[in-house]
Chains A and B, each alone.
Chain A
Amino acid sequence: MSEKILQTLGALRDYSLEKGYEISLYYHEEDSYLMRFANSAISLNTNEHLIRLEVTAYEGSKRASYAMITDLAKLDDMKKGIDIANEMAKHAMPLTYQTTVPTYENTFIDVSNFDPDLSTISNEEKLALFNQVVSGLETDEIKLSGIFSCGANTVAAISTRSEHSILMKTSDAQVTIVLSHNRLKWEVQAEQSAQQKSDLDPAALRAELTALLHHYTHDSPQQLPLGRYNIVFGPAAIADMLNFTRYIAFNGGLMKRGYSFLNEENIDQKVFSNQFSFFDDPERRETFPFRRDIYGIERKRFALVENGVFKAFAWYQDDADEFGQQPTGHTVPHHSLCMAGGSQPVNSLGELLNLPRETDILYIPFLHYMNIVNPSKGILTGSSRFGALLLKQDGTVVVPYNVRLTQSLLDIFGDRLSWIAQEILPYNTSLSYGARNPTSIIVPRFMQVNDLEISHSNSSY
């Protein structure tokens, strides 16, 4: 199949050269499967096979693009798309800078992250995994929700600048299992990200759910008083906050436009906690990495923060062109974000619950609907969800109603950061708006931040 893709792209390149066009082609193919559960039933079982081709045409400093959903047999339609893009480019407006046309210096094919056993896992196997995880945990009032999303994703690119091309293929799965009380409206959740079939671990999912369920079914819920808390965040919350940090801190183009809470003077300065190190590392297969960006730049481990020192902005090609910077190989559908683990030997929920504590600790595994309140100050807001616990100083555990945090990322990853767990794991952050783009962020299992203010406390879940 990979050969057919490259042959087709080659034929389209030949067509473009014959017509005297300057173009680049970006190919995306997905084979997506999603089994969705709700109210303890399979509420939807779906699959889509889609091929997208995006043509970008260049004429001097003018640029235009045309995208289509197509299939490999429709060569004439694709050629028409190339013609349309070129016609648009003629009538477009010159940019005030010279835009870069991708140039691939050698052909790069990477299918090492593709596991056919995972991408074609059967409907029966998916259902069996869910049944195994929640066996005996559902009741008339506690219902199963969740997804098993899996598939194969192929991206490829070529341009008229060289005969070489790139192609990268990966398999992925995201498993989310939720148990919720249909009257009380609490929810607990366990999740897993897989790049190959052997990554799936139903026993771990079950252990996580069982531990949370124990507290949610036995303990009375409490509305927490407003005030300051020492908070342990779980993988989902950490991944969400890191994603926002990537967006409003480390993006060079956004910094130049004023959307970042960091600036060029912060480079090589200590901005965060000594404990905080954060990388873009395409060597981590769990992140569904791109080892070339779509301009052909080889991607290597890229330090954003090392021991609290801000190291560099990430520059997308177009921003680098506009602002006269060196591109850093970050023009990819997603980055391979990795936060380094720490020294705290707390690597499971059970160990966290048993950790001796000098104060109450609020455990927030998941932050719902986070958004940016003030990008210049790195202030975010979001609410707890999916299994928060208040670990009392006296060793007991209380189930809290959900709370809202409104806080600066400079505090969360700064001096208020108390400890980071040793263990790191991939947390799947894939969204399926538009083209499939499997994404994971490697995060520590837990991270404690002290003295954070709860700005709203619910009187119900």
Chain B
Amino acid sequence: MLNQIKQQIERLRARGATYVDTRWYPYEETNSLLMWNGNLKDASSSSESGVGVRVLYKGAWGFSASSDLSDISALFDKAFDNARIAAERVTFPVRLAEKETIEAKFESPLRINPFEIPLTEKIAFLQEMDKRLDQPGVTQRVCSLNFTRKQIIFVDSEGSQIEKIITEAFADLEVNGLDSEGGMHERKFKPPRRGESRGWENIDLQYFSQNAERIVRELNDTLQAEQCPVDDRAVILLPGIMYLQTHETIGHPLELDRILGYELAFAGGSFVTLDDFSKLRYGSEKLTVRADATLPNSPGSFGFDDDGIPAQDNLLIDKGILVGAITGRQMVEEANAKARRTIFNGSSGANRATSFYRVPIERMTNINIDAGQDGTLEDIIRNTERGIVLDGDRSWSIGSNREQFHFGTEAGWLVEDGQITRPVKNATYKGSTVAFWNSLTAVGNQSTWEVCYVDNCGKGQPNQIMQLGHGVPVCRFDNVRIGE
């Protein structure tokens, strides 16, 4: 197959294509188990294989994909024809940033392959979790395990050949309950990434059991709690909501394709402009953000992106000032040309596709906030006069240019004079992105820093769901509207 692919790439180059790449997925497997109130509602597996071909011709992209590899030359021709028609409407001919030719292999670290664990053992884990969640106050118990494993062989017309084998294991717990007015509340446990690997070894029974008990306790506290007041207070965001704040109001606005207007038909734009780089005070001086695709244990690390660029650790925001973006090879060239200055020195290695039948686009890697100097969570609470501690994502809604947001959380605890006083229910907060990040007044130390994962980030047309991570500390923001 590899030889056939290389021959087809050469054939299209001879027809005039300036660049061709393929991603051959010999396999992509999934295994999913979902237990709901003790019923194994879903026990499923899947497999797929196929090839996606991307062709650049006269400054325009064409793409084609198929699982039927019986006529591979027709697949390449289709991609070429798609590029040929696209070339009839070009305003800024696509150029690709320089890169080195790479022959390499990447395998995500794991000790125990989840696909080698017997189904009965996985079910036993879910049964144990379900038992622990089956407590007074809990009306719905949901436990899930999801595993993916894929092999990707990337070949391009510039001589690169990269093989990737990526395995991921996700395990979640969720409980729901009804308050005295019939209002539904939820509490989830999506474990932060610990250790250095991404396999079954992370599905630690004791760790999950402790957290199962915690979320039941916190759910019951919420069910008994008073309504969150409408108020302006300091909000102290724990990693379970801080990751989403980072994702929606730093990660997405800094995707360079959004900034350049490539997502305006669907996902939206960004309030960030090319003029803002090295100038915009995105947040307070306490805010330093990086896109770090080198964390070993996160789904936002993948060795090489789907342009064939090695994983990198790049600054996005340096002490509050915007300095970088999430980029692939195409967008950096266009951005530098449009800005008439060199903002980006090459791709940051963030162009990824969700499957062989989708085209790579700019995606977050691990968008992390550096830990700060403001101590532990307890220290931050102690130094807060009037505030609220928030955790857990319940709902999220963001403006089309990511300029404002509204988040609902699972749990909230009011803080008065440096002490937690009582839990509240239906806690929400909202704000304007830049003003909010500039109100950052405390960043927790390393003890508060956790790597959270996102397994359902949607973007693009055709739509793509991507997995990624966020390493975030506890943070405090002043004077935020809550309770609406």
Q: Which A residues between 311 and 329 are near B, CB-CB below 8 angstroms?
A: 318, 322
A50 on interface, CB distance cutoff 8 Å: yes
Q: Are A63 and B43 in contact (CB under 8 A)?
A: yes
Q: Which of A65, A67, A84, A182 contacts B261 (CB 8 A)?
A: A182
Cα separation A127 to B85 with both chains bound (whole Å): 8
Query: What is the interface of chain B mostly: helix, strand, loop, or mixed?
Result: mixed
Task: Tell me the nearest residue of chain B to A56, going by C-beta.
Answer: B44
Residue tally, chain A, CB below 8 Å to B:
88
Q: Are A383 and B400 in contact (CB under 8 A)?
A: yes
- A88-B397 in contact given A38-B261, A43-B61 (Cβ < 8 Å): no
Q: Which B residues between 60 and 92 are near A, CB-CB below 8 angstroms?
A: 60-68, 70, 78, 81-83, 85-86, 88-92
Q: Are B90 and A42 in contact (CB under 8 A)?
A: yes
Task: Tell me the nearest residue of chain B to A93, going by C-beta.
Answer: B40
Binds B, one of A1-9, A144-152, A202-210, A337-345: A144-152
Task: Tell me the nearest residue of chain B to A36, going by C-beta.
Answer: B461
- A149-B261 in contact given A42-B60, A48-B357, A374-B408 (Cβ < 8 Å): no
Q: Are B357 and A45 in contact (CB under 8 A)?
A: no
Q: Are B484 and A406 in contact (CB under 8 A)?
A: yes
Q: Are B359 and A404 in contact (CB under 8 A)?
A: no
A185 on interface, CB distance cutoff 8 Å: yes
Q: Are A46 and B359 in contact (CB under 8 A)?
A: yes
Q: Which B residues between 31 and 74 are near A, CB-CB below 8 angstroms?
A: 35, 38-50, 60-68, 70
Q: Are A372 and B404 in contact (CB under 8 A)?
A: no
Cα separation A206 to B430 with both chains bound (whole Å): 37
Q: Which of B62, B63, B271, B400 contacts A369 (CB 8 A)?
A: B400
Q: Are A178 and B462 in contact (CB under 8 A)?
A: no
Q: Which of B47, B82, B89 contacts A40 (CB 8 A)?
A: B89
A259, chain B: closest CB distance, angstroms: 6
B203 on interface, CB distance cutoff 8 Å: no
B418 on interface, CB distance cutoff 8 Å: no
Q: Which residues of B contact A322 (CB under 8 A)?
A: 39
Query: What is the interface of chain A mostly: helix, strand, loop, or mixed?
Result: strand
Cα separation A38 to B264 with both chains bound (whole Å): 7
Cα separation A182 to B484 with both chains bound (whole Å): 33
B190 on interface, CB distance cutoff 8 Å: no
A377 on interface, CB distance cutoff 8 Å: yes
A8, chain B: closest CB distance, angstroms: 14
Binds A, one of B99-107, B116-124, B301-309: B116-124
- Indicate with 1 or 0, residue by residue over A117-159, a CB within 8 angstroms of chain B CB atoms: 0000001100100110000000000010111010000000000
A44 on interface, CB distance cutoff 8 Å: yes
- A185-B271 in contact given A34-B461, A66-B44, A69-B50 (Cβ < 8 Å): yes
Q: Which residues of A contact B81 (CB under 8 A)?
A: 123
Q: Are B67 and A50 in contact (CB under 8 A)?
A: yes
B122, chain A: closest CB distance, angstroms: 10
Cα separation A35 to B85 with both chains bound (whole Å): 10
Q: Are B399 and A402 in contact (CB under 8 A)?
A: yes
B166, chain A: closest CB distance, angstroms: 18
Task: Tell me the nearest residue of chain A to B75, going by C-beta.
Answer: A49
A410, chain B: closest CB distance, angstroms: 14
Q: Which of B65, B120, B397, B458 contacts A48 (CB 8 A)?
A: B65
Q: Are A187 and B400 in contact (CB under 8 A)?
A: yes
Q: Are B484 and A68 in contact (CB under 8 A)?
A: no
Q: Which residues of B contact A211 (CB under 8 A)?
A: none
Q: Which of B39, B183, B401, B432 contacts A95 (CB 8 A)?
A: B39
B269 on interface, CB distance cutoff 8 Å: yes
- A180-B264 in contact given A46-B462, A258-B139, A374-B426 (Cβ < 8 Å): yes
B48, chain A: closest CB distance, angstroms: 4
- A433-B86 in contact given A44-B359, A48-B65, A176-B265 (Cβ < 8 Å): no
Q: Which of B44, B92, B269, B462 contacts A32 (CB 8 A)?
A: B462
A58, chain B: closest CB distance, angstroms: 12
Q: Which A residues between 354 and 392 are near B, CB-CB below 8 angstroms?
A: 368-377, 381-383, 385
Q: Which A residues between 174 and 190 are near B, CB-CB below 8 angstroms?
A: 176, 178, 180, 182-183, 185, 187
Cα separation A144 to B25 with both chains bound (whole Å): 34
B260 on interface, CB distance cutoff 8 Å: yes
Q: Which residues of A contact B261 (CB under 8 A)?
A: 38-39, 143, 145, 180, 182
Cα separation A461 to B139 with both chains bound (whole Å): 42
B278 on interface, CB distance cutoff 8 Å: no
Q: Are A47 and B395 in contact (CB under 8 A)?
A: no
Task: Tell me the nearest residue of chain A to B118, going by C-beta.
Answer: A91
Most buried by B among A37, A50, A96, A382: A50
Q: Are A91 and B39 in contact (CB under 8 A)?
A: no
Cα separation A131 to B89 with both chains bound (whole Å): 10
- Indicate with 1 or 0, residue by residue over B394-425, a CB within 8 angstroms of chain A CB atoms: 11111111011010100000000000000000
Q: Which residues of A contact B120 (CB under 8 A)?
A: 91
Task: Tell me the nearest residue of chain B to A64, going by C-beta.
Answer: B43
Q: Which B residues between 247 and 276 are near A, CB-CB below 8 angstroms?
A: 260-266, 268-269, 271, 273
Q: Which residues of A contact B401 (CB under 8 A)?
A: 185, 460-461
Q: Are B140 and A41 in contact (CB under 8 A)?
A: no
Q: Which residues of B contact A124 (CB under 8 A)?
A: 85
Q: Are A374 and B183 in contact (CB under 8 A)?
A: yes
Q: Which residues of B contact A45 (CB under 8 A)?
A: 60-63, 82-83, 85-86
Task: Tell me the nearest residue of chain A to B124, going by C-beta.
Answer: A93
Q: Which of A68, A143, A385 contacts B400 (CB 8 A)?
A: A385
Cα separation A63 to B458 with both chains bound (whole Å): 30
Cα separation A433 to B40 with both chains bound (whole Å): 25
Report the 3 A-B pairs with minimum CB-CB distance, sorted nearest first.
A69-B48, A42-B86, A432-B462
27 example contacts (A-B, Cβ-Cβ < 8 A) are as follows A38-B263, A38-B264, A38-B265, A41-B90, A42-B85, A44-B61, A46-B63, A47-B64, A50-B65, A63-B40, A67-B45, A67-B47, A69-B48, A69-B50, A88-B43, A91-B120, A93-B39, A97-B39, A147-B266, A258-B182, A368-B399, A369-B397, A373-B394, A376-B182, A383-B398, A404-B406, A458-B403
Task: Give 14 new A-B contacts, CB below 8 A, not counting A46-B65, A178-B265, A459-B432.
Answer: A38-B264, A41-B92, A50-B67, A71-B70, A84-B45, A88-B43, A88-B119, A95-B39, A95-B40, A149-B461, A258-B139, A373-B394, A373-B408, A458-B399
Interfacial residues, chain B to chain A (CB-CB below 8 A) = 35, 38-50, 60-68, 70, 78, 81-83, 85-86, 88-92, 118-120, 123, 127, 139-140, 176, 178, 181-184, 260-266, 268-269, 271, 273, 357, 359, 394-401, 403-404, 406, 408, 426, 428, 430, 432, 458, 461-465, 484
